[in-house]
Each structure stands twice: as C-alpha cells, then as structure tokens.
Structure 1
C-alpha cells in the first residue's frame, strides 16, 4: 500500500519547482538578449520585432576589430598551464597531508585552509611587485604563476584521499609498489571524478579572470580574451552593443559548448565530489 503524500510535501515540491524556474529565467534572459543583439543590426538592439533581419556581420566586425586568434591562443595556454600546475602540486600536497605523518603537518594544513579565506584581489600589489622583480611582467606566465598552488584543490583531494582504505596501501606495498606508484596507480584513478570537478572549476575561473591579467599585462602578445574585450568599450565612436555582445559570445562559446556537450559528466562529477 502506497502512503499518501502530505499537503506540506506537495507545497514544498511546488515551491522548489517555481524557484528553479525563476532562477532558470534569471540566467536565461540575459543570454537571450545577448543572442538577439548579436544576431541583429545595431538599430534593432532594443527593438524586438518579428521582421528584424538576421545578420552575422556583428561577428565579422568583432573578429576584425581585435586579434581574436591570439587572444584565444593566450587564454588556452593560460588555463592549460594553470590547471596542469594545480593538479600536480595539489595531488602531491594532498597525498602528503592524507597519508604521511610528520611534525607540523596539522599546522601546515591549517595554513592551507587559511589561504581559502584570503581573496586573490588583496594580493594584487604584492603579486605585481613580485612579477616585476622576477622580470615576468607582461607575460602569460605572470598571469598564471600566482595561481599555481590551489588551496581548494589541496583540500578537496586531501579529503578524497583520506577515504581510500589503508588496506589498499598495504596490499600495494606488499606487491613492492613505491609511494609514487601507490599514488599514481591507486589514489589518482579513484579520485578521477574529483579531478574532473576541480578541473571544471579551475578552467572556468581562469578563463573568465579579468582584473589580474589587466594589471600585469599591456600587450596583445600576452593578454587573454577577457582583457581583449575591453577594446570594444574604448572606441571614440561610442559603444556598439551589437559588436560587444558578438565578441562576448565568441569569448564564452567554448565554455558554453563544453557544458552542453558534457553536462552529464559535469553533474556526476560534482555530485560524487559532494558525496565524498
């Protein structure tokens, strides 16, 4: 016999559904406006009529107004470099905190957690002075170097590694595996969903980063996409929202396409990360 649902449960479910639709609309409306503006002439940017002509000229003008191939290459190199460094350093640090006992380990891990409370923007002046002293200013390396060590990645992987049974370590040790082999053949494969979840967060964060790249770079050869977009808002002819939205869509298209293609893997990775 199936127990009847309570009116309170029905109201709670209805409230959740309405809230989800409201949040979805709040996210979707700016995107729809950007699509309308980018695919229509500037005269129809605020005129929503059915007879408005479609055009791709805004994308052509945006592509010709800025060196987008260079910006895309810089951004791809930047996020790849940061993610690779973060994965290596976070994996080694998390494994040490999770499986080795040494003097001061708890204090060091507390310092890592303390870094999570520090906003990156607070360290802009110190980071700029450091990059200037190292002679790295106005390079792609100067943008990514302050983010190579990720406290969030260390914390996330450390908590995941601690859930791995000690028996696996002992069995691998009996088979003659070294600590490095245990890490790469036991811990890393078991934490694959966590790596995917962290990778998504890292790539999206540094793909959209604006303030630090703007400060530490001043040439096309090293600037990423987000900084390159400012050329469209600094023209003497005024602001052309059709070209700006077209350029913005080209900038965000890789992330949007990646989400649409791999949304199931995205959700599963974050769900597993939360469960662990």
Structure 2
C-alpha cells in the first residue's frame, strides 16, 4: 500500500513537472521558428537563428548583460561578507540580547521587499543614487535569509574546532575565514543560487530607479523591448529575447542543483 502511494506521488510530480515545462518548451520552439509559421498549429522542421540575430541588433542586450552581471555579482559579494559575519556572531559569539536580535532578523524574511520601495527610493534620491547600478544594489546588501542559512550551517560545525584554533592562537576573525568559511562552501553555493536567481529576475525595483540604457538590467530591457513599437506582438523575437535572458540562469541551476539540495540538507532546513 505504501509503495503504491509512492508510485502515485511520483507520477503526480512528473505530471506537474511536465505541465511546468509546457510554457518553456513553447518559448524555446517559437524562438527558433520562422516568423511566418511561428503561430501555426502544424509542426514543421523549419528552424532559424535569424530571430536571435534580429533581437541582438534591435536592442543593446550586450549592455543589459553586462549591467546584470555586475549587479548580481556585486550584491552577492557584499551579501556573502555581511551574512558570513552576522551568521558567525549568531552561531558562535555570546552577547546580550542575541536571541532577540536574531528574531528581528528573521522578521525581515516575512517583509515583502516591495513594501520598502518608497522609503528606499527616498533614501536613494537624497544620496543622488537614482539611475545608478549602486542604487539598484544597495537595498539588498544585507540578506536575512542568507544569515539564517549560514547560521544553521555554522551551528553544525563542531565547537571543538574553535577551541583547537584558539589554542593555536587564532583570533575569531581567523577562525571565521580559515575554518568556517571553507567548511560552509555548499551553503554559499545554495545561497548564491538563491541570490543570483532573485536579482537576475528582479524587475520592479530596477524599473523604478533606472532611466538609462547604461544602468538597465536584462529584465527591464526585455520588458521595454517586448513593448516597443518596432517589435509589437512579434512572438518569435520576443521568445528569442526571453530565451536569451533565462538561459544562463537555467544552466547555472542545472550545474549546481546537487550542491543546492545538499546544502539545505546539511543545514537542517526541511
């Protein structure tokens, strides 16, 4: 009976996965089809790369890629440093009110980022950082989720390593970066995938604070491209542009999915 239930659950998951793949497959097929037969219900073996050439020439996607890579890498680099230090403090450093402060950090996970758009915009305006890459990145330099994930991972590391390192004359700073940081590599990969995917797909905040091509990320560039007068409802070009935007993220997840799952298992997150 239990085996039967497992088989039913497995087939249900496969059906849901197949359903999820339908829009992706439609976009992929449409991106490679000639415009004249793109929406034709009949199947043909006519495929072309002209749609991608048209998209690349019609909009500055190279600039959008460069902007997005800089934003994603910059945010993750700062998040990794701030989350590492905060997580180590919550996991191994004793100070008054630690549990209360940690709860305040966890509350931030439940606050939608969109709620903070107006105050963040006001702060950036006062700092003259509107329409800048730094302005896009600044509200995300600290991550409550990253702190929580790394704290859970750090707590699984035996405290005896701290004692041995202290005997050897290591400071807490050296213990953090020479012991905890290397041992928590799977969690950094998992957090990196979460952070990169979120900021790669982030749309509303960059749309509000950017006005120039020099600072727009891929998501905003794709939206403007899809709504432009020249493109209109030409689904082949729009599908090709969409595929250009999402492919790097899909490849990264496929390459690191094993580390992604293992990190959550080792961190004790169910």
For the criterion TM > 0.5, the same-fold answer is: yes
Aligned match of 1:22: 15
Q: Residue 113 in 1 paired to residue 106 in 2?
A: yes
**Which aligned pairs between 1:1-276 and structure 2 lie closer than 5 A?**
8-51=1-44, 53-237=46-230, 238-274=232-268
5+ unaligned residues in a row in structure 1: which ranges? 1-7
Per mean C-alpha deviation after superposition, the further-off stretch among 48-57 and 67-76 is 48-57
Q: Which has the larger radius of gyration?
A: 1
Unaligned runs of 5+ in 2: none
Q: Contact between 2:156 and 2:267, CA under 8 Å: does it hold in 1?
A: no
1:205 and 1:275 mapped to 2: Cα distance?
Answer: 20
List per-residue Cα deviations over 1:157-214 (Å, max 9, x = no partner): 1122122222111111111111111111221122111111111110011000000000
Contact map agreement 2:187 2:260 (CA 8 A) in 1: no
RMSD of aligned Cα (Å): 1.6
How far is the alpha carbon of 1:264 from its aligned partner?
3.3
Give the TM-score of the pair, scaled to structure 1: 0.92
Q: TM-score, normalised by structure 2?
A: 0.94
Q: Distance in 2 between matches of 1:213 and 1:267?
A: 30
Q: Aligned residues, how many?
A: 269
Question: How many angstroms apart in 1 are the aligned matches of 2:156 and 2:14?
Answer: 37
Q: Given that residues 197 and 273 in structure 1 are in contact (C-alpha distance below 8 angstroms), is that contact kept between their aligned partners in structure 2?
A: no
